[in-house]
Structures are given as structure tokens and as C-alpha cells.
Amino acid sequence: MARFTLPRDVYHGKGTLETLKTFEGKRAMVCVGGSSMRKFGFLDRAVSYLKEAGMEVQVFDGIEPDPSVDTVMRGAEAMLKFEPDWIVAMGGGSPIDAAKAMWIKYEYPDIEFEDMIKVFGLPKLRKKAHFCAIPSTSGTATEVTAFSVITDYKKGIKYPLADFEITPDVAIVDPDLAETMPKKLVAHTGMDAMTHAIEAYVSTAHCDYTDPLAIFAIKMIQKDLTDSYAGDMDKRASMHNAQCLAGMAFSNALLGIVHSMAHKTGAVFEDQGAHIIHGAANAMYLPKVIAYNAKNEEAAARYGDIADHMGLGGSTNAEKVELLIAHLRKMNDALNIPQCIQHYGADSYPTEQGFVSEEIFLQRLPEIAKNAIADACTGSNPRQPTQEEMEKLLKCCYYDTEVDF
């Protein structure tokens, strides 16, 4: 049985943050990250709208980028004390994802993290609280997805939690929140969204409901991302919608091994000073994975479709795949994102010799490849890589060499 699930309400457009005034409930816990939402005044506005709606409000702040299991447990404890009937998560993917996981633990205090990561294995939520997500970055689309990504720093592994139970009840997609993003964040989150849409379109779980969303998102991102990066706020608003459409697609069509590889390389070089930012990892790996997947005829035809919709030219699928790869690499250059791990340097900008030395990379490669194959996103990829293939693919992502297998 195929299922297509989205939040019941998606409020979108400038000023929609005010929708919080119409919420009904007794207590709202507002979950935010470090400081950006407070600094730019969005937290105060959200809190006052909820109070205007007659709710008691408590703020849980300080959720770090790439949130940890510990943070999730602390947040759930705070929720158990405050007993909110609304959880309002605001900010980038990190605080919203953390709040989703806290919600699970709040509803089921005895559940262990190991049980939370069983794919589509969560018990029914909403016995205690409903969930509203308000994104301030234009990429993860976690405001409409059935996913949350939590990092186990002891293992250096990012775990995707996946279940329609954690698809939020309400999403507020207000582009005002995205206007304060620094350029680099625009670039990374934008390429994350592009990866979501492309992986959803070629996923083995794609369907007639997800395809139009994925294709339209790809076209919007192609048209608007670099202008948004350059500071055009109309395009910034358009990107906020595009990433959300991409999210609607991938939440229901799932993803592929670009994400498997990004999840398993993100935190593993932390000790080398290289935290590989999610969107940057995707941007580097996507062209390589397209070349690998395109050895599958059906996937090549789907990439050909994408290239056609993007107006890239080419007559055979092989030509179209080449043009798509070239276009994505050009986007990376325009957004100042490196093309490979070896060149991933300070502030995630391209550099001749990045943080991760060849020696360290090769040492950790077998384990990373094993973990990437086991990632929840691998199952819906058009090709199922063997250990040897995954190692080869990751090497191409390290050295920026051609994928010919």
C-alpha cells in the first residue's frame, strides 16, 4: 500500500508566522537553536503570538547544529516537566529535528534511542502534543518530512529517524525567517534541497504523487538558488517554497545514497577539524552518485527527464546525464562549494589541501562505506552498492575522479 503524507496545514508566504496567534492549546514549548532566532527577533514574536493565543509558553533553547542524542534526552525531560500540548520548533533543520525526537521521548518516556531509529517503527504520537515546525533555512524541509536526523557523537554517526508519525501537524513557511541567512548557509541548504528533489525523482519509491513536486522543485532551484545566494530576496522567498516542495516529494519518495554517504561522513572527521556540513557533502557527492546510478538504464532515463525539464539539451540519455552532472558542478562553483572532500577546507570553502588527509580518509574508508550501505536512505537508491563499489564511490568523492563502474 502506497501512502502519501503531509502536514495537515502548510501556511506559506511573508508574515505567516502570525498564524501562531490562532493556535488553540494550554501550553506551548518553543524549541530553538543557538541564537539566530532570538537575535533577529523571531523568537520573541513567536512567543508573544502564542501568548496572545492564550497559551503558557516555555522556551527550550541552545539546540546545537547536528543535534546529539543527549540534547534530545534533555529536551524530552524539560517537556515531561512542562507538559506542553503544542511543540513549536523554529530554526534550521537541527532544532526542528531535535524537537521531533524529543516529542517521541516525551510521548513515550521509556523508549530508548535504539528503538527510535527503527525505520517506520514508531508508536502513535499526538497523545500528549501536536507539532508545529517553522523553518529558518531553505533546505532540509523537515517542516513537512517524516524524518529527523540525530547524531550519536560517541559513534560519530548520524542516524535518520523515519516515520510518518513525526511528520509535523502544521508547517509555517514564512520567507521572512530565511532573509537573515548568511550566504554560505543559503548555498549549503539550497544544494541540500536540490539533492532531495533529484534523489526523490530517481528513488525506487517515487510515484505519480511525488514526481511533479520533485521536478517543479528542481526547476525552481535551478532558476533561483544562485540569485538567492547573491542576495535577491524575492528569489530567497522562492527558494523557501522550492525546498518545501522538494521535502514533500522526498518525505514520500525517500532518498538515496548521496544522503547515506553524507550521513556517514558528516561527523566522522570531526577530530580532524572537518565537520562536513550536510548540504556541502550532498553537493559534492551528488554528481558522483548520478554517474554511478546512471549505469542503471531506468535511472539514466529519469536523470534524462530531469535534464530535459532543466532545458540542458542532449539527445541520448548518456549525453543528458553528462550535461546534468556538468550543470550541478557549475552550480557548486558558483556557490563556492568544493567538488570533493580532499578540497574541503576552512569554513567549508574549496582549498588545495583540505582538513581530511589522504591517510586518515583511507584508514576510515572501509568503516564509512559499511555504515553508508547500512544507512536508511540506501534501500530506495536505484542501485544497491556492494562494499567494494561504495568504497570506490567514496574514493571518487575524495579525489574528484571519474566514476566508471
Ligand X SMILES: NC(=O)c1ccc[n+]([C@@H]2O[C@H](COP(=O)([O-])OP(=O)(O)OC[C@H]3O[C@@H](n4cnc5c(N)ncnc54)[C@H](O)[C@@H]3O)[C@@H](O)[C@H]2O)c1
The contact set with ligand X (CB under 6 A) reads: 33-34, 36, 65-66, 91-94, 97, 136-137, 139-140, 142, 145, 147-149, 158, 177-178, 180-181, 185, 189, 192, 278-279
Residue 336 beta carbon to ligand X: minimum distance, rounded to whole angstroms: 16
Q: Is 165 in the site for Zn ion (CB under 5 A)?
A: no
- Which CB, 147 or 303, lies closer to ligand X? 147
Query: What would the DSSP string read from start to end of 74-94?
Result: HHHHHHHHH--SEEEEEESHH
75 touches, from ligand X, Zn ion, none (C-beta below 5 to 8 Å by class): none
Comparison of 40 and 209: residue with beta carbon closer to ligand X: 40
User: Closest-CB residue for ligand X?
Assistant: 92
SS3 134: strand
CA distance 287 to 310: 16
Residue 239's Cβ-count burial label (10 Å; 0-12, 13-18, 19+) is buried
Q: How far is the CB of 149 from ligand X (least distance, A)?
A: 4
Give dist(CA 90, CA 250) in Å, integer.
21
Scanning the structure block, which residue is given the C-alpha cell 589541501? 353
Q: What is the DSSP string of 199-260?
A: HHHHSTT--TTTHHHHHHHHHHHHHHHHHHHTT-HHHHHHHHHHHHHHHHHHHHH---HHHH
We find the least distance from the C-beta atom of residue 279 to Zn ion, in angstroms, to be 7
Q: Which is nearer to Zn ion, 148 or 226 (CB)?
A: 148
Nearer to Zn ion, 192 or 375 (CB): 192
Could you tell me the smallest distance in angstroms from the CB atom of residue 275 to ligand X? 10
| Phi, psi torsion values for 151, nearest 5 degrees | -100, 130
Which lies closer to Zn ion via its Cβ, residue 188 or residue 343? 188
- Among ligand X, Zn ion, none, the one that 97 touches (CB under a kind-dependent 5 to 8 A) is ligand X
What minimum distance in Å lies between the beta carbon of 298 and ligand X?
A: 25
CB of 282 to Zn ion, least distance (A): 6
Could you tell me which residues come within 8 angstroms of residue 217 by beta carbon, excluding any fewer than 6 positions away? 193, 196, 197, 242, 243, 245, 246, 249
Q: How far is the CB of 146 from ligand X (least distance, A)?
A: 8
| Ramachandran quadrant class, 291 (left: phi over 0; alpha: psi -120 to 50; beta: rest) | alpha
By C-beta, is 149 or 397 nearer to ligand X?
A: 149
- Contacts of 321 by beta carbon, 8 Å cutoff, 6+ apart: 290, 291, 294, 300, 303, 304, 307
Q: CA-CA distance, 126 to 35, in Å (whole number)?
A: 29
Say which entry of ligand X, Zn ion, none residue 226 contacts (CB below 5 to 8 A, set by partner kind). none
CA distance 184 to 107: 36
Residues 186-215 that bind Zn ion (CB under 5 A): 192
List the single partner that 180 binds among ligand X, Zn ion, none, CB under 5 to 8 Å by kind. ligand X
Tell me how far, at minimum, the Cβ of 135 lies from Zn ion, in Å. Answer: 13
Q: Which does 289 bind (CB under 5 to 8 A by kind): ligand X, Zn ion, none?
A: none
Q: What is the DSSP string of 318-361?
A: HHHHHHHHHHHHHHHHHTT--SSGGGB-GGG-B-SS-SS-HHHH
109 grid coordinates: 518516556
Pick 41 or 123: Cβ nearer ligand X: 41
User: Residue 252: which of ligand X, Zn ion, none does it interact with, CB under 5 to 8 A by kind?
Assistant: none
Least distance in angstroms from the C-beta of 17 to Zn ion = 24
* Residue with Cβ nearer Zn ion (192 or 224): 192
Which option in ligand X, Zn ion, none does residue 337 bind, with CB closer than 5 to 8 A by kind? none
The label of the residue with cell 502513535 reads 124
Binding partner selected for residue 175 from Zn ion, ligand X, none, CB under the kind-specific 5 to 8 Å limit: none
Nearest to Zn ion of 283, 300 (CB atom): 283
The listed partner (Zn ion, ligand X, none) that binds 382, CB under 5 to 8 Å by sort, is none
d(CA 147, CA 156): 19
Which residues have CB under 8 Å from 78's CB, separation 6+? 29, 58, 60
Q: Which residues bind Zn ion (CB under 5 A)?
A: 192
